[in-house]
């Protein structure tokens, strides 16, 4: 099979193209991996939008002006020049949207890392690769591992604030918001979702939210007590409306994603608490120190399995090859994804 990559214009994510890829000879310490499957979600769109600010473009270098948006999934070593990573080793982690790629894999106490120089200063959370024997939940893991992990860590972070009784989530149809709603309701929080009219009825039917409002109804937003707004949409105008509606009841405002990436930025002043960015790797580092090595993954794995068992509504949509990836990419980028659907791509 000929090797290829999906490259995007870093200034306009709508401009994406499949291009032939080179397969250079390996140097000592390098391995070649064949990409088996990965998911593509609004979370990956956020990686592209924040690629320059957070270094996401650095993981998988591309020609000037172009980028390779990272995704989460499974890959297998097909050629190796290091004893640390033999042929056949199957890993889960951060991948490019490609048929294959090269890394300098090295073993650690808990898994593998890429020792390539361009990754040296990048967050270790995105540079960790775990051995991944086949599991019936592999498609769910490809889809949910990055999204539900963020939900898990967000809920853990917000749960430290004992005064909070309510969470208000924008882009309530996003998988990360749905996951946070599931976790927060389990510990007794009131959870209110904000959504487009097209998705509101579907989200209500999932039973994860106490109340679902459309963005036009934000002015009527009321809560039972101290509230946090968790913004997955990245639409500053909506944030301003939520802040105004909740007034003094709003004690926290957290920025997570940018699903409404085309809304642009509104420089209007926002009343109330200053919106602050939640960066999941910071919470992982904290809990690794608090709970000890491996405990974050152990607790999360149990949570993921429980979420899947409790989510019969979740529908996995399969895509194959170049055309399948291109279709899934534009569908997600343009917001043409049903809340219950998750897109899994197999490049080969």
**pLDDT of res. 257:** 66
Cα angle 216, 221, 224; round to 5 = 160
Q: What is the mean pLDDT of residues 149-159?
A: 95
Report how far residue 15's alpha carbon sits from residue 13's, in angstroms, rounded to the nearest whole number: 5
Classify each residue of 296-310 as buried b or exposed e, where b means 16 or more C-beta atoms within 10 Å of its C-beta.
Answer: bbeebeebbeebbee
Pairing of strands 276-277, 315-320: unpaired
**pLDDT of res. 137:** 95
Report how far residue 56's alpha carbon sits from residue 127's, in angstroms, rounded to the nearest whole number: 11
**pLDDT of res. 11:** 95
Phi, psi of 68 (to 5 degrees): -115, 105
**pLDDT of res. 48:** 93
pLDDT tens string 229-270? 999 988 888 999 999 999 999 999 999 865 544 444 454 578
Report how far residue 78's alpha carbon sits from residue 76's, in angstroms, rounded to the nearest whole number: 6
Check whether 187 has a pLDDT greater than 50. yes
Pairing of strands 315-320, 341-346: parallel
**pLDDT of res. 74:** 98
Give 111's strand partners: none
Check whether 103 has a pLDDT greater than 60. yes
Q: What percent of the chain has pLDDT above 70? A: 96
The closest of 277, 252, 241 to 164, measured between CA atoms, is: 252
Check whether 109 has a pLDDT greater than 90. no
Report how far residue 330's alpha carbon sits from residue 14's, in angstroms, rounded to the nearest whole number: 7
Pairing of strands 190-195, 166-169: parallel
Q: Extract the tokens encoding 242.
A: 């939520």
Q: What contacts 213, CB < 8 A, 6 or more positions away?
A: 192, 193, 194, 195, 200, 220, 221
pLDDT tens string 214-237? 999 999 999 989 999 999 988 888
- Which DSSP string corresponds to 160-228? T-TT--EEEESSTTSHHHHHHHHHHHHTT-EEEEEE-HHHHHHHHHHT--SEEEEGGGGGG---SSSEE
**pLDDT of res. 261:** 45
């Amino acid at each position: 099979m000929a090797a290829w990559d999906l490259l995007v214009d870093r200034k306009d994510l709508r401009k994406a193209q499949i291009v032939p890829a080179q397969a250079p000879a390996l140097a000592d310490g390098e391995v070649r991996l064949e990409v088996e499957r990965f998911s593509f979600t609004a979370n990956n769109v956020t990686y592209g939008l924040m690629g320059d600010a957070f270094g996401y473009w650095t993981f998988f270098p591309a020609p000037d002006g172009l980028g390779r948006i990272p995704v989460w999934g499974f890959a297998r070593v097909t050629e190796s020049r290091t004893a640390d990573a033999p042929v056949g080793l199957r890993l889960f982690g951060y991948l490019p949207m490609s048929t294959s790629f090269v890394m300098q894999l090295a073993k650690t106490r808990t898994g593998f890392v890429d020792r390539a120089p361009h990754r040296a200063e990048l967050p270790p959370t995105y540079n960790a690769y775990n051995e991944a024997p086949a599991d019936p939940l592999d498609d769910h893991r490809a889809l949910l591992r990055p999204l539900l992990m963020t939900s898990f860590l967000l809920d853990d972070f917000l749960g430290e604030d004992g005064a909070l009784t309510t969470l208000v989530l924008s882009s309530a149809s996003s998988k990360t918001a749905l996951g946070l709603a599931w976790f927060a309701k389990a510990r007794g929080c009131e959870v209110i979702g904000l959504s487009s009219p097209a998705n509101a009825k579907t989200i209500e039917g999932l039973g994860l939210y106490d109340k679902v409002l459309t963005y036009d109804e934000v002015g009527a937003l009321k809560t039972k007590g101290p509230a946090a707004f968790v913004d997955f949409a990245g639409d500053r105008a909506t944030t301003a409306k939520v802040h105004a509606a909740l007034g003094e009841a709003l004690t926290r405002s957290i920025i997570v994603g940018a699903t409404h990436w085309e809304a642009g930025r509104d420089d209007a002043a926002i009343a109330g608490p200053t919106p602050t960015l939640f960066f999941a790797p910071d919470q992982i580092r904290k809990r690794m120190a608090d709970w000890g090595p491996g405990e974050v993954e152990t607790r999360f794995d149990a949570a993921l399995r429980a979420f899947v068992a409790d989510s019969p509504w979740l529908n996995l949509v399969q895509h194959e090859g170049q055309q399948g990836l291109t279709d899934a990419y534009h569908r997600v980028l343009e917001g043409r994804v049903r809340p219950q659907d998750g897109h899994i791509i197999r490049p080969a």
